[in-house]
Amino acid sequence: MSDKKFGVTVRAWRQAGPGEKGRMESYKVEGVDPDMSFLEMLDVLNEDLVKRGQSPIAFDSDCREGICGCCGLVVNGDVHGPDEHSTVCQLHMRRFRDGDVITVEPWRVKSFPVLRDLVVDRSSLERIMAAGGYVSVNTGAAPDANSIPVDKDDAEEAMDAAACIGCGACVAACPNGAAMLFTGAKISQLALLPQGKPEKAKRALAMVEAMDAEGFGNCTNEYECEAVCPKEVKVANIARMNREFLLANFLSKR
Amino acid sequence: MKLDAKIPSGPIEKKWDKHRFDLKLVNPNNKRKFDIIVVGSGLAGAGAAASLGELGYNVKVFTMHDSPRRAHSIAAQGGINAAKNYPNDGDSVWRLFHDTVKGGDYRAREANVYRLAQVSNGIIDHCVALGVPFAREYGGLLSNRSFGGAQLMRTFYARGQTGQQLLLGAYSAMMRQVAAGTVKVFPRREMTELVIKNGRARGIIARDLVTGRLESHAGHAVLLCTGGYSNVFYLSTNAATCNVSAAWTAYKKGAGFANPCFTQIHPTCIPRSGDHQSKLTLMSESLRNDGRVWVPKNKGDRRSAGSIPEGERDYFLERRYPAFGNLVPRDIASRAAKTEVDAGKGVGPTGQSVYLDFRDSIARKGEDKIRAEYGNLFDMYHQITDENGYKVPMRIYPAPHYTMGGLWVDYDLMTTVPGLFAMGEANFSDHGANRLGASALMQGLADGFFIIPYTLGGYLAGSKLEAAADSDPEFGRAAGEAEARFRRLLSSKGKKPPSELHRQLGDVMWNECGMARNEASLKRALVKIPEIREEFRENLAVGGGAEELNQTLERAARVEDFIDFAELLVRDALERRESCGGHFREESCTPEGEARRDDAGFSHAAVWEHAGEGKAPLLNKEALEFEHIKPSERSYK
């Protein structure tokens, strides 16, 4: 249980709008409760800024339980903060001490331009999904669910990949700004399942092409993405994506 | 207000088939000429956009998030019901229908619920085809579990992330239509006005949350898939931005709002730790399968859990409900916890929680077994509270979770405004006064994938719709109203940020109109809410401008709507002088303190009609008839 309230200094990235020049600014936050979440600490700071007629720090967050994928901050240089495999909304202030200076930055990725302060535009990920992250089946056309048996291990592995929340941490952590873990996870999920097999070559080609077109970098086996992924999506998915992509290139009928 | 539910004639098993035949069809070549506006991209919205896009309609989807995949459906943990009867344990469409009507405490419309049960199986088929990785058995077929006290195994699940996987499935189907050009997604847009032309819903005004610009979007029909209003309590398990604004705008433009007092409180949430708390986190109620709920027998016992001897513990659910014990339904478990806390027996630093103890299960099954079943929940609990649930009992307390009330809709899911449809949690129709576990996901997808594609076609083919364009004066007027509102909010130079006023509102709602309500508490709320509104008018602090990304301004508008809506909710709770489902009126209970329904007086949906600013809303009633499932008293003794 919490012992004492304390104070920290938040150094946050402030940027008025897309393409504007940004800067770091420091703010003191007093009365921090160790049981507060990190984002609740920012809420307290923002309420204070509004009361004083200053502009609050914009940041994205919604479910605050690590599943919606909205939030994403770099805290003291760590993507999603210091806790392993969690989102920044799950970080709590008991990880900090009185007098700490905490640096807060947005995802810094060419393909995720800053919209304001800590809010970035991740629509590039949407366009990768639209390129082929689906099974082409119309509503009403499906056979009985149990007419498609799926090997339990494959189903589990597909679920491991499908757990991706689309937060973009993998991209933010990658020195090359690659979106290969994100893309590989979706390609893997659908390639592992019989439902996804008919389109798997087409899907791999289209999604990789879309990923490249958005300006994301390439994988150089840094494993930073796996290290920060809140859902522990594995780099094996990147290897599978590469295999699927190669196979598709060799075997493509087009 | 004329309430015609348009329930098709004929035997209940044939109503939907008959209705689908009776509905007029839109010629395949004409579908692309219809513009359909979908607000919200959760299960109902994404499902509708995908299925309508597949049919060839021209669909525009609006989401306030940066991506449609963020909608709050994503947070559902437990599962989705269907009447597949794969486990061979006696399930059927009829039984799912029966359980849902009974679980809703006989306040839902039978015909709608029957249809929901009927289409439930198709949802599982479709989601499997879309690649949703449901849990499976070693033989490769789907796994089922029992959930939320159901007596059979009809729940399909994807680990503890069923909502996420279903939403990603519906989202992927929608993104396929984005690629096909039938669906266009407008992210970071919030609907601020509904536009009515000649009595029909013909479009919306949306605010671009990045630039602040107001946009007009005209169409032939508007589908509100905007979720529930649990955040009227400020603290709930809903995501931070969930709000009632779209539904409230529709209400003010003539859509009836049904049963707003039907709210569900979930018993197993992690208690609040202080005033800074921004939301509450739910833990799956499956925990009650192995955890025992207790409080100290003596009031004000501040000893640590471990030093309270067995004889001084009160396992109050087991004591009061010996047949069901810790597995009583949500509303009953929640109220029982409140009774103990109100009696001064609550535990933890705030005294606002009860224990959920795994000691005996760990002794019986071993910690490994418990870890295998609930490990992720224990981790989540530890992350939030810094306490080890294997060593000391967890602390839980109920929290608002789901709202059964919503916009009134007929059998076609159309509101009282022609051309305006409401789907998923935003409507009122299927769960009555209490929703069963794993039924929210079912309803959202049923509405989106399997009902609206038919009923919307019937409306479009059966109506003579004149042309409507963004440039029509109705759009200009609505945009003007929206602009004036944001200007008014920004001109307020007070001292309180909207979040603080929201917290005040939540306190009133939770204390006076929460798990238990009585005439005096509700009347107090009707005094306190206008005081908060007054303070909102005079002391609101927003700052910044309208034409920029301004999260405080967004919040201010939502809070303003919550304040107005809260009054309607309380009024409805005051009017319904019976206890049913999630609505517990202390005046209406048995001598043992259990809820007592009043079928003679309240077997109806209460549908509220806006009578103009500053005027008392009008109450209309849709009588509910139970031809097939005879109302009986729920007893879990």
Per residue in B238-282, pLDDT (tens digit) is 999 999 999 999 999 999 999 999 999 999 999 998 888 999 999
Residue A26 lies in a domain: yes
Q: Are A79 and A169 members of one domain?
A: no
How far apart are the CA of A6 and the nearest CA of chain B, in angstroms?
Answer: 14
Q: How far apart are CA B220 and CA B460, in angstroms?
A: 8
Which chain B residues are closer than 8 Å to A207 by Cβ?
none
Q: Are A161 and A49 part of one and the same domain?
A: no
Helical segments of A83-199, H only: 123-130, 152-162, 169-173, 180-192
The verdict on a CB contact (< 8 Å) between B136 and A92 is no
Q: Annotated catalytic residue: which of B202, B330, B435, B555? A: B330
Residues A31 and A127 in one domain: no
Do the domain assignments include residue A1? no
CATH of the domain at A216: 1.10.1060.10
Does the CA dihedral B284-B289-B292-B294 come out positive or negative?
positive
Q: Which residue has the tokens 């056979």?
A: A143
Q: Which helix H or strand E contains A249, and what residues bound it?
A: helix A236-251
3-class secondary structure, A211 = helix
Instruction: Give the tokens for residue A203.
Output: 């899907």
Please give the average per-residue pLDDT across A26-38, as a whole number.
97
The pLDDT-based confidence of A253 (bands split at 50, 70, 90) is low
Q: Are residues A136 and A234 in the same domain?
A: yes
Please give the average per-residue pLDDT across B436-452, as a whole number.
Answer: 97
Identify how many contiguous H helices and E strands chain A contains and give both numbers: 8, 7
Q: How confident is the model at residue A3, as a pLDDT?
A: 60
Residue A29 backbone phi and psi in degrees, to 5:
-125, 120
Give the separation between CA B323 and CA B329, rounded to whole angstroms: 12
How do strand B292-296 and strand B604-609 relate by DSSP bridges?
unpaired
pLDDT tens digits, residue range A12-30? 999 999 999 999 999 999 9
pLDDT in tens, B296-310: 999 999 999 999 999
Q: Are A141 and A181 contained in the same domain?
A: yes
Residue B3 is predicted with a pLDDT of 97
B74 close to B163: Cβ distance less than 8 angstroms: yes
Residue B252 phi, psi dihedral angles, 5° rounding: -70, -20
pLDDT at A4: 85
> Does the pLDDT of residue B633 top 90, yes or no?
no
What integer is the mean pLDDT of A170-199? 98
Instruction: Among A50, A59, A119, A164, pick the best mutation site for testing chain B contact (most B Cβ within 10 A).
Output: A50
Taking alpha carbons only, the member of B167, B157, B166 closest to residue B134 is B157
Q: Considering only alpha carbons, which residue of chain A is nearest residue B53?
A: A138
Residues A92 and A57 in one domain: yes
A137 lies in the same domain as A106: no
Helix (H/G/I), strand (E/B), else coil: A244: helix
* Nearest-CB residue to B142 (from A65, A116, A146): A146
Contact B140 A139 (CB under 8 A): no
- Residue B96 to residues A27, A188, B529, B628, Cα–Cα distance (Å): 56, 35, 40, 13
Pair A111, A128 in one domain: no
> How far is it, in rounded angstroms, from Cα B530 to Cα B568?
12
CB atoms closer than 10 angstroms to residue A198:
12
CB B50 within 8 A of CB B223: no
**Disruptive mutation site among B16, B85, B130 for chain A (greatest number of A CBs within 10 Å):** B130
What tokens appear for A133 in the block? Answer: 């992250």
pLDDT above 80 (res B636): no
Residue owning tokens 């703010």: A27
Q: Containing domain of residue A138, as a range?
A: 123-251
Q: What 3-state DSSP class applies to B158?
A: coil
Q: Is B344 left (phi over 0), alpha (psi -120 to 50) or beta?
A: left
Q: Is 50 exceeded by the pLDDT of residue B61?
A: yes
With both helix axes pointing from N to C terminus, report the angle between B519-539 and B498-513 in degrees, rounded to the nearest 10.
170
Helix (H, G, I), strand (E, B) or coil at B11: coil
Residues A150 and A99 in one domain: no
Find chain B residues with C-beta within 8 A of A133's C-beta: 172, 175
- Nearest alpha-carbon partner for B389 in B402, B374, B400, B404: B374
User: Cβ A65–B75 below 8 Å, yes or no?
Assistant: yes
- Neighbouring CB atoms inside 10 A of B391's CB total 12
CATH of the domain at A34: 3.10.20.30
Residues of A in contact with B541 (CB under 8 A): 50-51, 53
B574 DSSP assignment: H
- Cβ contact, residue pair B497, A17, below 8 Å: no
**A232 to chain B, closest Cα gap in Å:** 13
A62, A144: one domain: no
pLDDT for residue B37: 98
CA distance B531 to B232: 16
> How far, in Å, CA of B77 to CA of A163, rounded?
13
What are residue A129's DSSP bridge partners? none
Bridge partners, B22 (sequence order): none
Q: Is the pLDDT of residue B476 over 60?
A: yes
Chain A: nearest CA to B221, how far in angstroms? 21
pLDDT per residue over B120-140, tens digit each?
A: 999 999 999 999 999 999 999
3-state helix, strand, coil in chain A (%, to 5): 40, 15, 45
Q: What is the pLDDT of residue B328?
A: 86
A228 with A171: CB under 8 angstroms?
Answer: no
Range A180-207 average pLDDT: 98
Is residue B496 scored above 70 in pLDDT? yes
B497–A92 CB contact, under 8 Å = no
Rounded Cα distance between B114 and B90, Å, is 17
Tally C-beta pairs within 8 A across A and B: 220
**Which of A88, A116, A144 is the C-terminal boundary of a domain?**
A116
* Alpha-carbon gap: B540 to the closest alpha carbon of chain A (Å): 9
Model confidence at A252, pLDDT cuts 50, 70, 90, reads confident
Compare CB distances from A152 to B84, B137, B449 and report the shortest one's residue: B137
Phi-psi region of B27 (alpha: psi -120 to 50; beta: other; left: phi over 0): beta
Q: Closest by alpha carbon to B123, among B544, B449, B518, B588?
A: B449
Q: Are B259 and B602 in contact (CB under 8 A)?
A: no
| CATH class as words, domain B266-400 | alpha beta
Burial of B98 (0-12, 13-18, 19+ CB in 10 A): middle
| Confidence class for position A2, pLDDT limits 50, 70, 90 | very low
Q: Say what the pLDDT of residue B324 is.
A: 87
Q: Is residue B154 annotated as part of the catalytic site, yes or no?
A: no
Where does B474-606 sit in CATH, by number? 1.20.58.100
**The total number of structural domains that make up chain A:** 2
> Quick one: DSSP state of residue B145?
B
Per-residue pLDDT, averaged over A48-71, amounts to 97
Pairing assessment for the beta strands A23-32 and A6-14 based on DSSP bridges = antiparallel
pLDDT of residue B284: 87
The answer to whether the beta carbons of residues B205 and B192 sit under 8 Å apart is: yes
Q: Are residues A82 and A196 in the same domain?
A: no
**Domain extent listing, chain B:** 266-400, 474-606
CB contact under 8 A, A54 and B543: yes
Residue ending a domain, choose from A116, A132, A162: A116
Contact residues on chain A for B386, CB-CB shorter than 8 A: 1, 34-35, 92, 94
Residues in chain A closer than 8 A to B542 (CB atoms): 50
Percent with pLDDT over 70 in chain B: 100
Per-residue pLDDT at B509: 98
Q: Is the pLDDT of residue B86 over 70?
A: yes
10 Å Cβ neighbour count for B371? 14
Beta-bridge mates of residue A105: A74
> Greatest CA span in chain A, whole angstroms?
67
Mean pLDDT (chain B, rounded): 96
Whether the pLDDT of residue A181 is over 50: the answer is yes
The phi and psi torsions of A64 (rounded to 5 degrees) equal 55, 30
Q: CB distance B383–A90 less than 8 Å?
A: yes
Instruction: Say if CB B542 and CB A53 are below 8 A apart.
Output: no
Assess contact for B227 and B191: CB atoms under 8 A.
no
Q: How many CB atoms lie within 10 A of CB A201?
A: 20
Strand partners, B204: B194, B217
Kindly state whether residue A54 falls inside one of the protein's structural domains: yes
Share of chain A above pLDDT 70, in %: 98
**Which phi and psi angles does B600 have, rounded to 5°?**
-65, -35
CA atoms within 13 A on the CB side of A21: 0
Instruction: Point out the domain boundary residue: A116, A149, A180.
Output: A116
- C-alpha distances (whole Å) from A67 to each of A63, A112, B221, B424 are 7, 20, 32, 20
Query: Mean pLDDT throughout B545-554?
Result: 97
When scoring A15, A65, A112, A237 by the number of chain B Cβ atoms within 10 A, the one with the most, hence best to mutate, is: A65
Beta bridge partners of B23: none
Return the residue matching tokens 């005040």.
B504
Tokens representing B597 are: 């329904």
What pLDDT, on the 0 to 100 scale, is given for residue B475?
98
Question: Is residue A40 a part of any domain in this protein?
Answer: yes
What is the predicted pLDDT for the residue at B583? 97
Q: How far is B507 from chain A (nearest CA, A)?
A: 18
B394, containing H or E segment: strand B394-403
Nearest residue, CB atoms, A63 vs list B129, B158, B239: B239
pLDDT band at B424 (very low <50, low <70, confident <90, very high): very high
Contact B385 A35 (CB under 8 A): yes
Torsion of CA A110, A111, A112, A116, to 10 degrees: 60
Using the beta-carbon criterion (under 8 Å), do A92 and B386 form an inter-chain contact? yes
Closest Cβ opposite residue B453 in set A41, A90, A139:
A139
**Which amino acid would we find at residue B22?**
D
List strand residue ranges (DSSP E) for B151-256, in order: 155-156, 183-186, 189-197, 200-208, 214-218, 221-224
Q: pLDDT tens, B360-372?
A: 999 999 999 999 8
DSSP class per residue in B500-536: HHHHHHHHHHHHHHSSSB-HHHHHHHHHHHHHHHHHH
CA B519 centroid distance within chain: 25
Q: What's the one-letter identity of residue A222?
A: E
Residue-wise pLDDT for B579-609, tens only, equals 999 999 999 999 988 899 999 999 999 999 9
* Distance from C-alpha of B106 to C-alpha of B97, rounded to nearest angstrom: 12
Mean pLDDT of chain A: 96
Query: What is the C-alpha separation between A60 and A118, in angstroms, rounded?
Result: 7
Question: Are B129 and A195 a contacting pair at CB < 8 A?
Answer: yes
Given a cut of 60, is residue A1 above it in pLDDT? no
Interface test with B, best of A20, A49, A63, A139 (most B CBs within 10 A): A139
| Minimum-distance CB partner of A55 among B137, B386, B543 | B543
Distance of residue A241 Cα from the nearest chain B Cα, in angstroms: 17
Give the pLDDT mean for A170-182: 98
B589's CB contacts (< 8 A; 6+ apart) are B579, B595, B596
Residue with tokens 């088929």: B125
Nearest-neighbour CA in chain A from B103: distance (Å): 27
* Pair of tokens at residue B635: 């007893």
pLDDT at B285: 83
Same domain, A109 and A141: no
